[in-house]
Structures are given as C-alpha cells and as structure tokens.
Structure 1
Amino acid sequence: MIEVAAAIIEDEAGRILIARRAKGKSQEGMWEFPGGKLEPGESPEDCLRRELLEEMGITIEPYAYVGANKHDYGTVMIKLIAYKASFVSGEFVLTDHDDYRWVGTEEFEEYTFAPADVPFLRMLNE
C-alpha cells in the first residue's frame, strides 16, 4: 500500500485549490487535491510541504487533519491522507499538473476527480 498525502488549501474567499493531472501521468486529465507520496519516515505534513514546493512552486502550511481513505486502483492500493492547509507564498509553476483552479465547493461537480479524492469532496460539501 502506498501512502499519499493531499492538501486541501483554502484561499481568503473560501475557494479550494484543485489541480489537473498532466498527460502521461497516472490519472491523467483528472482533477485532485495536490500532494504526493510519503517518503519513508516522512510525516504527511512534511510530505505536503515538500511536494507542493516541488510540484507547484508554492509554500503551504498544513494545519488540520481531515481524514484518510483507502482506494484500490487495481494495480495499486493507496491510502490518501488529507490535511487542510494554508497558502503561504510562491508563484505557481506546475510540473505534474497542466492546470490549477481555485473553486467553490459548489463547483466540484463540474470537474472529474480522481476516485481516491471523491470521499473528500463529500466531506467538504457537508
């Protein structure tokens, strides 16, 4: 099982950051809460700080555990661990994604999300 962390980053207007997986990546074309795989011995919070800086060029600060869920993609089982986080600084430079958006929770249905992220959509809409 692969442990993956996801950041649910909210801006001052209450919108959430989502990102679209680039062509050639697993889950290409699907939207997700950005994040990545935990390195051995790494906390989810440290993983999110590292991954968002590497993949998007931004600094964030995780502050609240949201939840975790397991998803079987057939070839791999992942445990997705989500944290709410604050945007601290940086200019977006995308490496694993080809687009990003700040969206309201009422807009989630307009996007096709990676299956492992879907339970968090429901949590955020409650």
Structure 2
Amino acid sequence: MKRIHVAAAVIRGADGQILLAKRPEDKHQGGLWEFPGGKVEPGERVQAALARELEEELGIRPTAARPLIQVRHDYPDKQVLLDVWEVSAFVGEPHGAEGQPLAWVSPRQLGDYEFPAANRPIVAAARLPERYLITPEGLSGPELLRGIQTALENGIGLLQLRAPTLPAAQYRDIAADALGLCAGKAQLMLKGPLEWLDDFPAAGWHLTAQQLRESSGGARPLSAQRWLAASCHSAQELALAAQMGVDFVTLSPVQATRTHPGAQPLGWAQVAELLQGFNQPAYLLGGVTPADAERAWQVGAQGVAGIRAFWPQ
C-alpha cells in the first residue's frame, strides 16, 4: 500500500490561537476536526503543496512557515505521512472556501476537539513550545525557585525540575512551590518515583531512560490529560517511549557535554535518522543552545532542551 503524502498546517494567529477545520461527513474520518492541508502531488515540493492547499481551502497565502513534525500513521484502509508545518504569518482572511466550518482555538483547548487518530502527536506538537528548560544541579531550594521565577518572566513555557542530589523530602517541597510559581504560566515536569504521581496532579512527569526500560511494554502510567515525557538515547528507547504513548521525549546527547563527558554524542546526522521513524515531538539535548532551534526543526525535532545554556544567569 502506497503511503499518501499530506501537507498540513498548524496556523497560528497573532494572538496565538490555532485554526482548525472540520472534515466533511462524506470524507475519510468525516466529521472530525483537522489541521488544514491536503495531498502533495507527485514531484511537488511540500511547501508548494501547502501554499496551494491553503489558498484553495482557506483563501490565504502563508508568508512564514517552518517544519513542525512528521507523522506516519497506518489506518486499516490507508497509510499516511503527515508533513506538518507551523504557519506563523499569512496574507488574506481565512474562510471555509469549500464550505467547511472553521474554529480558532487556544492551544490549551485543542484537547477538547476530536481529531483523527494520526493527529494526536500534532496536537501535542502544537501545544508544546520550542524550548524545554531543565534545572541545573547543585543549587539550593531558594536558588532553584528564584531561577524558575526569572525563567517564567523570560517566557519559558515548559520546564523540568531536575535535582538528583537533593533528598526526596526537599525535592518534594521545592516541587510544590515550583508548581505554585508555574500555575497558569508554564507546564512543570517532575522526576521521581511513580508512587509520587498522585501527590502532584498538576505536574507532568519525565521518565528517566531507566524507568522507561523497567516498565518496558507497560501501560502509560498517568492519564492522557497529563503530560508524559521520557529521556531517550537510542532507537530502542525511542521505540519503548512510542509504545508507552509518551507525549514527547528528549533525545541526547547531540554533541559532547561537560556534564556527561563519557557519553558518546549522537551527532546531527544520526539524530535526523532516528527521528525519521519517530512520530512524537522530540527535544534535542546535549551541547545545544537556544540558537540551535532552527537546525533542530530542520532535522525533525520539536526544538531544543538544555540546562546551563537555558538557565537565567
């Protein structure tokens, strides 16, 4: 069965809202909401296909677009490759040129809409920012909380409280305070034993590679309403993460780092290869800085993650 190549767009308005279209009842997956787009013709460039489809469907012409995520999905009756781009600027006023209903929704509201199964990773990618901040080791509780406060003021929308050397009780106290700081501003990801999950219902959870391997083949440990991430370093770990249904991963180390001098860097070419078959958003970690976001998008990543290079000085 030939895989159908589809160009799709996550279109963001100036206010950050995202444009959705409803599929006609008589089409495949009819009646569900989708990100606008359509088939790439043989020999056609993806960007050209996207521009053509958005003009035909919505009467707009994209003026700023970048790769967001590629998703391969097998339905019982067809196989698709969704080549998704983020469109951040366009000319024209979007309207349902083919009579389809449209809706502008906030990223947070995306979870309230029903999409085809292949769109689940796109919904995650549309809701996630391009940077993922991980807290540095060796800081006291007050230093961590001050840094988190500054990071939030600087616009960080996703951060992980990582403090492997702190005693469990102290980590939990800081986690409770950090959740208070992040409420309504950013998504906080915690690390630790899965027995803690119910104690922090507002937090997402970031699994270590060891936790991922230990629960190999196991069910997703928390509800679909909460963010679940995992640390990955190989094709095998990416496969385990996909099997568990995580929402996103970190893939590392891209380059040599001072914090893990013994770890063999993957390099950009291998990262691109690993992400080819991976359908979830991935943040690249290890020897990268916020300036590498563009390069990360080009190899198929959601963005970049970091510790020192991202921590407010």
Taking structure 1 as the reference length, the TM-score comes to 0.91
Q: What residue identity is the alignment partner of 1:3?
A: H
Greater length-normalized contact order (CA 8 Å, ≥ 6 residues apart): 1
Cα distance in 2 for partners of 1:93, 1:123 equals 24
CA contact (8 A) 1:45 1:62 kept: no
Task: Check if 1:22 corresponds to 2:15.
Answer: no
The structure with the greater share of residues assigned to strand is: 1
**Counterpart position of 1:77:** 79
1:98 match: secondary structure: coil
Give the RMSD, CA atoms, in angstroms: 1.4
Q: What residue identity is the alignment partner of 2:79?
A: M
Alignment of 1:12-91 (within 5 A): 12-85=14-87, 86-91=89-94
**Counterpart position of 1:110:** 112
**Counterpart position of 1:122:** 124
Q: What residue identity is the alignment partner of 1:19?
A: A
Q: What residue identity is the alignment partner of 1:119?
A: P
Cα distance in 2 for partners of 1:13, 1:62 equals 16
Deviation at 1:62, TM superposition (A): 4.8
Provide closer, same or farther for how the CA distance between residues 91 and 106 of structure 1 changes in structure 2, counting only shifts above 3 A: closer
CA contact (8 A) 2:69 2:125 kept: no
2:31 match: secondary structure: coil
1:66 match: secondary structure: strand
Q: Which of the pair has more CA radius of gyration?
A: 2
Q: What residue identity is the alignment partner of 2:90?
A: F
Taking structure 2 as the reference length, the TM-score comes to 0.38
The structure with the greater share of residues assigned to helix is: 2
1:18 match: secondary structure: strand
CA contact (8 A) 2:70 2:81 kept: yes
Can you give the 5+ residue segments of structure 2 that lack an aligned partner in the other structure?
Answer: 129-313
Cα distance in 1 for partners of 2:28, 2:82 equals 15
Provide closer, same or farther for how the CA distance between residues 79 and 91 of structure 1 changes in structure 2, counting only shifts above 3 A: closer
Deviation at 1:90, TM superposition (A): 3.6
2:5 match: secondary structure: strand
Task: Check if 1:92 corresponds to 2:72.
Answer: no
Provide closer, same or farther for how the CA distance between residues 93 and 125 of structure 1 changes in structure 2, counting only shifts above 3 A: closer
Deviation at 1:56, TM superposition (A): 2.0
Q: How many residues align?
A: 125
CA contact (8 A) 2:19 2:103 kept: yes
Post-superposition CA distance 1:72-114 (Å, at most 9, x none)? 111110000100112211451431x621111111101111011
Percent identity, aligned pairs only? 36
Q: What residue identity is the alignment partner of 2:68?
A: V
Post-superposition CA distance 1:36-56 (Å, at most 9, x none)? 000011111111110111122
CA contact (8 A) 1:7 1:84 kept: yes
1:122 match: secondary structure: helix
